[in-house]
Structures are given as C-alpha cells and as structure tokens.
C-alpha cells in the first residue's frame, strides 16, 4: 500500500511514525483528564473535540466523550473500528478541503503533549512464544539438549500477570525488592534485585469479548484483536530464579510492565502480515492459522546510562515469533476462559538467531558471563540504577513507516522496606 497523503504536511514525511496510513489510538493528559486521541504527523487529534463538531457522526455512536472512551470504542467491534478509521482518513486526507479548518481546530502539537495510558487494562497475560529466546534461556539453565520444555512446540505457554502495574512509556520504574538465594548460601535473603532485566515484546490488545465457556477459533481470535503496542515486561532474574519453582513468574514480573503510548490498529498493520515459521511438529487443529497472522515489524532496544549517550543493544523483528497473538488468544480461550475488552497479551521475549538480535540482557550477557560494551565505554550485564531502556518499533512501507512511539523506562533505586520509623 502506498502512502496516503494528508493535508497535515508532517504526516507525509518518510521519517514520521504517524502517517495517515497509521492513525493509532491513545489518550493524552489534560490536567486530571485522560482524553482519547489519534496521532497524525507531529500533531495529536483530540477525538473528543472532533466528535463534538459532529464530523464523526456517522451513525456508530459517541465513544470519545468519556476518558474510558477508547475501551468503549474497542468493545464496539470491527465494523465500527473500520467505519471510524475510514472517516478519519477522509477528514485528514488531501482530498478534504471543506472541513480542514474545523479539524485543524482539534489538533495540538505532539511535542507539547503528555501521553497517558492509552486504554484501561482489564487483565494481563504474558506468553513465552519466542523460540530463540526459549532456546537461549533453556540452554543456560537446562543445557542445549533440554532447552525447550516438552510442551513448547505444542502450545503457547503463558502466565497471568498484573494489570495493576502496567504503565505507560515514560513512567519511572522502581527497582524491586524481593527474596533471592545465592547458590552458595544456606538461606535466602531479602533486598533489591541485582539482576534486573528487560523483555522486548509486543502486546496485543483484545477489543471484543467472549463468554465464559466459549472457545474461539484462531480466525475469531484475530477478529477480536484491536491493535498492538510495544511492551517491556521488566524482569528481576534473581527473584525469578528462586521463586519460579515449581509454578512460574510471580514477584519477579509483577512490579512493572511498560507499554508504548499508542495502540497501532490491526488495520494499519494489514499490509505487513506474514506467516509464522514452519512447524517442527504439527499443531493440533484448534491452533492452525487459516491465513498469515504475524507481522513484519522491525524492533530495537537502546540502553542509556544516566548522563551518557544511548547504545543500541539489540535489533530484531516481530516475525521471529513462533506463535501469533491470534493463536495465543485462541489457546487462552480454549478452556472456556472468558476474554474481555481491554485484555493485554504479551508476546513473550522476541529474539532472533543472532547474538545482536537477543531481546533480553539475560541472553545478551549470557547470564552475566559476557558483559556488553556500551558506546560510552561502560559495560553492563544487567540494568543499573539510572539506566534508561527504550524500545523502538516500526513496520516499514514504501516511503512511509507505521510507528508505535517509544516505550521508555528509567530505573530508580529500590525503596526501603517498611515505613519510616519501623524497626
């Protein structure tokens, strides 16, 4: 698909993350209010203000007058999503002369706008669907011959995370405290994590809902997905190593998950669909994809120590995933688990086959044995206080790109345990 030209001139630049082909959804802060909006070039279009002009009155209903309007819009389903997208393209395209002044009155500079959480997260499930990541981690802990668990090639493995600590890009992340046990220690100890890590992921956002007891086909699951965000599932590897036996991640993951400020819709990503990799073992029929349901999205991570220049520490692509978000959602609902509008599904760490494509510091430093050399001359095995980690992502078209905005988090020191005066 070629670039759709807009009368918002900045949207037509090949460097813009937000051409008219994109039109992601988010919310910006206006005093205490979180107001629904979309992005076009270097501007934000206030959807509440636009709706009040009557220009979005196309018989689909009013969604954007309330701060939770993005969630109400997601719940409305794919026919409404398509109708609103078509109308926004009409209003912002070069062909629209009549309504330009009215629409322009609803724009505001992105640079002077602070973004809020783009939607209200209902529940959060994180998966473990990157094959190279699973092989790397499994090799470190179990040896190459037992790298993948016996079920890994058959089902998307996942766990239920914490919606309460999913935060928008730019939110500072406090280093977690937790219980850990050194290999040579007789007993565990409690204190700040010493092996703090990132996980480079994509997040899929469920738009529709399903009833308890109702399974979903992969095609139905794909229809329910509203859009995607960049996702950093911060991980305390030393806490995780002690607590995950036998159940899985708990406090090591519960303290924070960062997402990018814009939800890039499935419609915007349609030209970039691609297939999941060839299967080593045939999946059971309920997980078979009827068509390509993964996406070609370039991803990268930068690490910036406080006061220093950033270093790109990884480059990979979302097409490295073994399972698509639609397969993950179908598996999630296969037991009859009810899925809700606003549910967030983390892809799992996205790593490629090369060392430069690893999506976590655990892999990059091989468990701390191979320190990373940064451009500023410093080294890292895991994240230190003051470090800023930034996830970048874009699908590359012909003369344009579909971006997500950056997913940024800066690490602050752990807080003392207990309240002042406690002893």
Q: Catalytic amino acids?
A: 133
- Is-contact 353 186, C-beta < 8 A? no
Rounded Cα distance, 155 and 134, in Å: 13
Rounded Cα distance, 346 and 337, in Å: 17
Rounded Cα distance, 408 and 363, in Å: 20
Calculate ∠ Cα 392-139-133, nearest 5°: 20
C-alpha distances (whole Å) from 244 to each of 240, 247, 367 are 6, 6, 17
**At a CB cut-off of 8 Å and minimum separation 6, what does 228 contact?**
202, 203, 204, 205, 263, 264, 266, 269, 295, 325, 404
Length of the chain: 423
**Shortest CA distance to 294 belongs to which of 111, 156, 177?**
156
Q: Omega before 246 cis (within 30°)?
A: yes
Q: How many CA atoms lie within 13 A of 338 on its CB side?
A: 6
Rounded Cα distance, 68 and 98, in Å: 31
**Shortest CA distance to 237 belongs to which of 354, 315, 136, 131?**
136
- Is-contact 253 193, C-beta < 8 A? no
């Amino acid at each position: 698909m070629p670039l759709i030209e807009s009368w918002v001139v900045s949207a037509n630049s090949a460097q813009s993350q937000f051409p008219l082909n994109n039109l992601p959804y988010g919310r910006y802060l206006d005093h205490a209010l979180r107001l629904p909006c979309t992005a076009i070039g270097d501007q934000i279009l206030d959807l509440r203000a636009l709706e009040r002009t009557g220009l979005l009155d196309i018989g689909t209903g009013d969604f954007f007058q309330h701060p939770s309007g993005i969630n109400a819009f997601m719940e409305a389903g794919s026919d409404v999503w398509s109708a609103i997208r078509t109308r926004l393209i009409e209003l912002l395209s070069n062909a629209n002369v009549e309504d330009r002044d009215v629409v322009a009155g609803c724009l505001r500079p992105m640079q002077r706008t602070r973004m809020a959480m783009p939607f209200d997260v209902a529940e959060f499930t994180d998966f473990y669907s990157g094959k190279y990541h699973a092989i790397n981690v499994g090799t470190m802990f179990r040896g190459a011959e037992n790298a993948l668990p016996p079920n890994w090639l058959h089902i998307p493995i996942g766990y239920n995370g914490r919606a309460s600590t999913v935060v928008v890009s730019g939110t500072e992340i406090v280093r977690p405290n937790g219980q850990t046990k050194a290999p040579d220690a007789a007993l565990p100890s409690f204190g700040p994590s010493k092996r703090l890590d990132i996980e480079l992921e994509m997040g899929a956002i469920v738009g529709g809902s399903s009833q308890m007891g109702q399974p979903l086909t992969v095609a139905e699951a794909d229809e329910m997905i509203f859009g995607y965000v960049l996702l950093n599932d911060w991980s305390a590897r030393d806490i995780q190593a002690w607590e995950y036996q036998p159940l899985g991640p708990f406090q090591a993951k519960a303290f924070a998950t960062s997402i990018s400020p814009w939800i890039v819709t499935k419609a915007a990503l349609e030209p970039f669909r691609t297939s999941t990799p060839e299967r080593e073992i045939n999946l059971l029929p309920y997980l078979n994809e009827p068509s390509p349901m993964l996406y070609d999205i370039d991803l990268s991570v930068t690490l910036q120590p406080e006061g220093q220049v950033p270093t790109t520490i990884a480059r990979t692509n979302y097409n490295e995933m073994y399972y698509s978000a639609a397969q993950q959602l179908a598996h999630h609902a296969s037991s009859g688990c009810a899925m809700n509008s606003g549910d967030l599904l983390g892809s799992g760490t996205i790593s490629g086959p090369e060392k430069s494509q690893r999506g976590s510091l655990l892999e990059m430093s091989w468990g701390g044995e191979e320190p990373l050399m940064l451009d500023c001359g410093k080294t890292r095995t895991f994240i230190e206080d003051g470090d800023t980690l930034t996830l970048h992502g874009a699908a590359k078209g012909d003369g344009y790109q579909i971006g997500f905005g950056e997913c940024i988090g800066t690490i602050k020191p752990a807080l003392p345990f207990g309240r002042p005066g406690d002893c």
